[in-house]
Chain A
Amino acid sequence: MKGYFAIILFVIAVSFFSSRIIFEKKRGTFRFAGVEIFILGVILSFVFSGQDFLTSLWPLIIFALAFAGFGFGIQFEKRILKKIRAKSFLYGFLTSLNFFLFFFILHFFYPLDMAIPLSAIFSIPSSTVLFSIKGDKRPVISGELSIALILIYYTVAIYGFKGVLISVVLGLAGFLIILFERILNKMEMYILFFGFLLLIASLSQMFNTSIILSAFFMGFVIAFFSVPYHSSTLVNRIEQPLFLTLLFSSGLFFYLKSVSIFILLIPYTFIRFFFVSPLFKKKSIFFIPIGALSIALSIETKIPYLITFTAISYFILLVIFEFIFRGGKWHI
């Protein structure tokens, strides 16, 4: 276990230190943010072939997955939900359609355990990119709502309704966090928060449900029923390093043959754009990149084929987005 911990510490160090360089250097642009870490993971996947390296990282990965779900859930503050309009639900409906359409097409070519996550991955927009929209925030809210819906569809399809129910019950732990947010100091709150996140992640694994969805519900409960003080500062503090941890893990799962399904990106871009453009017109291009949450989702499946595809698609679509958005001017 000491060896495992050394590896975990190494990955944490790489993630934290590189996040300083990567995100501070590339502030304002999304293109290739974190690709270095992904490539490092790919290189190490050749050096440390076999499952041992990945097994050793699993505790960190499940924490990162839980954190990804939590970080998303905590965005659902009451003031944001109050801005939901009929259009948001319409977009939610269209995203659902997007999910089912993809699933319908993909299930002819892939087994269910691949087709379902792939459809979900193809339907999750990037909330980070959406948040960069200036002015009217309706597309952001629509995007957030659709991600939540897709997470639920995915969990129902893979783990059944029982899975969603368990995730909801585990998410209720958020009420305990609310109870202590005002009483405890920042450091104490962090300790408790880490404990709860680890608890939710491990219990989700034990009761066979999605770690991301359970943590999402916990974040949602906190955001909806209180004003998160310490939790949101913690999210801001370690969000980027943990995202890099996920990218690094994606690199470790690298599977060369998955390159063959990149052809799917062409219909994906068109379908996504087609569904969104009547609603958000020019802002529709913000919906093209797939979300970082998709990377988390793909890792949760543990299917290397899918993980590699998602990570590389993530970068490609960010580049396409930046190219269109910035009118073809490359920002280096």
Chain B
Amino acid sequence: MAYLMLSALFMFLLFLVGRIALSPSILVETVLSLAFFIIIGFFLGKFFERIRFPAISGYLIAGLLLSPYSFGLMNFEPLNNLTFITEIALVFIAIQSGMEMKMSFLKKHGRDIVRLTLSIACITFSGVFIASFLIFQKISLETPLKGAILLGVLLILKSPLSTIAVIKESGVKKTELGDKILGIAILKDIFVILLFAILIPILSGGNSSAVFVVLELVGSLAVGLGVGVLVALYMRHVNVELSIFIFILAFLVSQLRFIHIDPLLVSIITGFFIQNFTSAGKEFQKVLDGISPAIYLLFFALVHALTDIHMIIKFLPITLILIGVKWFFTELGLIVGTKDPIMRKFGSVGLINQSGLSLVLVLLIGETFPAIGDTIKVITIAVIIVTDLFAPALFKYSLVKVSRLKKEDRGKDSLPS
């Protein structure tokens, strides 16, 4: 409760500053906005952690509260000045996703997970695509087909980071359910990033020849490997100020888009390469884990601050329908993809909440398709908010229950007949 009160206190301070301070230069106002984002986001994140929700939910609420659309506590210009942070965060999130893919894990569960991922992804995409196409036609969205395809792909995603967080928080050691859900979440990330790398040039109608798309993909893969090698060499021969080095690297990679190289793909390949083909994986992960809380805080708060809360409320019914559709088709995907009764019964709650990566992709959509970008962004953010409110808690409950059932089974087996 103290954290909540502190957040309220700092929001009141922001309100007072806006009323009584001298009008500052835009740079000072940008620094001030950054400071308030960090402080209020941090306190709200801690509050949400206390009530057993992911801290990300707190950052997200902080963003919505500080948004110029909600209470007008901040202006648009300083916020727009800070949006470059989201591009860097994109690289961090993708590198971390790549690092989650451990070869040993893939070898053990690979076949099962690939089959499940493909069945869930394809079935969920079909369901969401049809539903959103009908909805977009109904609300007369410009180019409803493009919108439905993009939203269909986006809603496939599931957050690996929140999965890891929930597994850790649940205190349940190694369950097949947890492992499989995590594997699916990671594979979905890669699958969707690859799909986006192909879809964006095709749907945008620019240089959309197949050769160009393939070149872009191959180029991204090569650069990703190159960056991975560079990191490994740096860590072997220099290995000082690693966090600064990663920041510079993340910034440079985030700018690769200007030479038609996909930063997300590059980052995910880099993460995968470092984790599996170098001895630097553990140390790199440690540094990344150290930096990432600050990056996530700023990323989630900033993206949500630039979201119109009134639009979210307006789109809430559509959001709820789409979450229902996503849930139903995920269940269907599980039925088709596996015979494991535990996965069938509990899997969907672990797969329903929307990934933070979708926010990154939403920004990309906004830049490439301005006419439909805002609507897709609002719906995606609304899906994230709503699913984050209940899915992590349900997943945690499922993990605990599965673990208890296993223990009971073992107990029955060991009883003398």
Instruction: Tell me the A residues contacting B by CB distance below 8 Å.
Output: 1-2, 5-6, 9, 12-13, 16-17, 20, 55, 58-59, 62-63, 176, 187-188, 190-192, 194-196, 198-199, 201-203, 205-208
- Of A20, A190, A199, A203, which contacts B241 at CB under 8 A? A20
CA distance A17 to B81 in the complex (A): 27
CA distance A13 to B246 in the complex (A): 11
**A-B CB proximity, top 3 nearest:** A195-B38, A198-B35, A199-B35
Q: Which residues of B contact A192 (CB under 8 A)?
A: 38-39, 42
Q: What are 29 A-B contacts defined by CB distance under 8 Å?
A: A1-B83, A1-B84, A6-B251, A9-B247, A9-B248, A12-B244, A16-B244, A58-B28, A59-B31, A62-B31, A187-B293, A191-B38, A191-B293, A191-B297, A192-B38, A192-B42, A194-B38, A195-B42, A196-B35, A196-B39, A198-B34, A199-B35, A201-B31, A202-B28, A202-B32, A202-B35, A203-B21, A206-B17, A206-B24
Would you call A17 and B35 a contact (CB within 8 A)?
no
Q: Nearest Cβ in chain A — how far from B231, in angstroms?
A: 16
Residue of chain A at shortest CB distance from B2 = A179
Q: Which residues of B contact A6 (CB under 8 A)?
A: 251
Q: Which residues of A contact B36 (CB under 8 A)?
A: 199
Q: Bits for B8-32, please: 1 = Cβ < 8 Å to A, else 0.
A: 0000000001000110100111111
CA distance A62 to B28 in the complex (A): 9
- Of A5, A20, A59, which contacts B251 at CB under 8 A? A5
Interface check B134, CB cutoff 8 A: no
Q: Nearest Cβ in chain A — how far from B69, in angstroms?
A: 21
B22, B31, B248, B251 — which one has the most chain A CB atoms within 10 A of its CB? B31
Interface check B290, CB cutoff 8 A: yes
Interface of B is mostly: helix
Would you call A187 and B290 a contact (CB within 8 A)?
yes
Would you call A198 and B30 a contact (CB within 8 A)?
no
Would you call B82 and A203 a contact (CB within 8 A)?
no
Q: Which residues of A contact B240 (CB under 8 A)?
A: 17, 20
Interface check B106, CB cutoff 8 A: no
CA distance A190 to B243 in the complex (A): 14
- Of B28, B38, B81, B290, which contacts A206 at CB under 8 A? B28
Q: Which residues of A contact B22 (CB under 8 A)?
A: 206-208
Interface check B294, CB cutoff 8 A: yes
- Whether A59 touches B27, Cβ cut-off 8 Å, given contacts A2-B84, A9-B247, A206-B21, is yes
CA distance A206 to B19 in the complex (A): 12
CA distance A247 to B297 in the complex (A): 31
CA distance A307 to B224 in the complex (A): 44
Q: Which residues of B contact A59 (CB under 8 A)?
A: 27, 30-31
Would you call B241 and A17 a contact (CB within 8 A)?
yes
Would you call B27 and A191 a contact (CB within 8 A)?
no
Q: Which residues of A contact B87 (CB under 8 A)?
A: 2
CA distance A169 to B21 in the complex (A): 15
CA distance A16 to B240 in the complex (A): 9
Residue of chain A at shortest CB distance from B40 = A195
CA distance A9 to B294 in the complex (A): 17
Q: Which residues of B contact A13 (CB under 8 A)?
A: 244, 248
Q: Which residues of A contact B247 (CB under 8 A)?
A: 9, 12
Would you call A55 and B27 a contact (CB within 8 A)?
yes
Would you call B244 and A199 a contact (CB within 8 A)?
no
CA distance A203 to B24 in the complex (A): 9
Q: Which residues of A contact B84 (CB under 8 A)?
A: 1-2, 5
A5, A195, A207 — which one has the most chain B CB atoms within 10 A of its CB? A195
CA distance A203 to B84 in the complex (A): 23
A-B contacts besides A2-B84, A63-B31, A192-B39, 4 pairs, CB < 8 Å: A1-B82, A195-B39, A199-B36, A203-B21
**B47-93 residues at the A interface, CB under 8 angstroms:** 80-84, 87
Residue of chain B at shortest CB distance from A63 = B31
Residue of chain A at shortest CB distance from B82 = A1
- Of B6, B17, B42, B80, which contacts A191 at CB under 8 A? B42
Q: Which residues of B contact A188 (CB under 8 A)?
A: 42, 46, 293
Q: Nearest Cβ in chain B — how far from A19, in angstroms?
A: 9
CA distance A17 to B243 in the complex (A): 11
Q: Which residues of A contact B80 (CB under 8 A)?
A: 1
Residue of chain B at shortest CB distance from A24 = B240
- Whether A58 touches B39, Cβ cut-off 8 Å, given contacts A17-B240, A191-B294, is no
CA distance A59 to B248 in the complex (A): 18
CA distance A71 to B83 in the complex (A): 30
Residue of chain A at shortest CB distance from B78 = A1
CA distance A17 to B248 in the complex (A): 12
CA distance A55 to B81 in the complex (A): 14
Q: Nearest Cβ in chain A — how far from B248, in angstroms?
A: 6
Would you call B28 and A205 a contact (CB within 8 A)?
yes
Q: Which residues of B contact A12 (CB under 8 A)?
A: 244, 247
Q: Which residues of A contact B17 (CB under 8 A)?
A: 203, 206
A2, A196, A202 — which one has the most chain B CB atoms within 10 A of its CB? A202
Would you call A202 and B24 a contact (CB within 8 A)?
yes
Q: Bits for B227-253, please: 1 = Cβ < 8 Å to A, else 0.
A: 000000000000011001001100100
Q: Bits for B272-298, please: 1 = Cβ < 8 Å to A, else 0.
A: 000000000000000000100110010
Would you call B39 and A199 a contact (CB within 8 A)?
yes
Would you call B32 and A206 a contact (CB within 8 A)?
yes
CA distance A203 to B14 in the complex (A): 10
CA distance A188 to B46 in the complex (A): 10
Q: Which residues of A contact B24 (CB under 8 A)?
A: 202, 205-206
Residue of chain A at shortest CB distance from B250 = A9
CA distance A63 to B32 in the complex (A): 11
Q: Which residues of B contact A62 (CB under 8 A)?
A: 28, 31
Q: Which residues of A contact B38 (CB under 8 A)?
A: 191-192, 194-195, 198
Q: Nearest Cβ in chain B — how far from A6, in angstroms?
A: 7
CA distance A20 to B293 in the complex (A): 26
Q: Which residues of A contact B251 (CB under 8 A)?
A: 5-6, 9
CA distance A194 to B24 in the complex (A): 20
